[in-house]
Each structure stands twice: as C-alpha cells, then as structure tokens.
Structure 1
Amino acid sequence: MKQERRSFDAAYKLQVMKMIQEQGLTMSQVYQELKSGKTAVAAISLRNRSFRSQHPADYTIANQFRAGWLPA
C-alpha cells in the first residue's frame, strides 16, 4: 500500500531553519526533537544551503521565503 506524501507548512520550515541556524542544532537533533522524518529536515536544510551559496549577500530566512526557495 502506497503511503501518502506529507507536506509541511511555512511555519514548520521556518522552525527547522531557526533550529539549525540560530540554535546550532544538527539535522539529526532537529528531526528527533520534532519527531519528523530525516528526509523532510534534510530537504529543507539542503534548500537553505543552496540559496545561501547562490545569494550570499542576500541570505536571510525572510528573503528565502520571498524568493520562493522556502515555499509556504
């Protein structure tokens, strides 16, 4: 039986980003604390790193949402 794919809202994505950036937690610590999947946290973190490498001068969580890198 195929498992339904979950989606995460902007508040969840923002929480993940803040935990990694501001609190300095690892991805492993984040998904364990949120009781989330490894893949979801890894995907959000990967998008963050990609945005940061392409837009180093414009790097903030708010700008990532505005640019559509962390969609709502």
Structure 2
Amino acid sequence: MELPCYTRSQLALRNGQDKPDIWVSYNGLIYDVTRSRLWKDGKHYEHWAGQDLTDELAEAPHGIWVFEKFLLIGKLV
C-alpha cells in the first residue's frame, strides 16, 4: 500500500492546536503522535508538532527507534 503524501503546510496544521491531530515528520515520513502523553498539546520539551524533526533528532536523548511506536501515516513532499 502506498502512503499518502502531505505538504509541509498540511503537516503544519497537525500541531495539536489548529487541528486535534498531532503529527511530526522525520526523514521524509510523517508519524501520528496524537496518543503520546509526551506530545500533549503539540509540544514535546522544546519541540513543536506539525514540523519536520529530522535535524533535531541528533540532539534528542533517544534514537530513530522512538518512531517505531507511532503510526506511520504518510510521506512529506
């Protein structure tokens, strides 16, 4: 099954404020983090939902494996 494609503008709306969905992107893929208590209200420490977090992951105390527990919902175009 091919994943749907979303633009940066569509991703930005899923910030937990403009729409109830909370999405983040990493390495061209978009993940739904809505159910994570760590992303409550679209904020996770100093990071905001609705954004591409690829460049920020290097500073995180965890690795890419953290995305394995979230639902992969699309591709960032």
Q: Which structure ranks higher in relative contact order (CA pairs < 8 Å, sequence separation ≥ 6)?
A: 2
Give the structure with higher Rg (CA): 1
TM-score (norm 1): 0.32
* TM-score between the two structures when normalised by the length of structure 2: 0.31
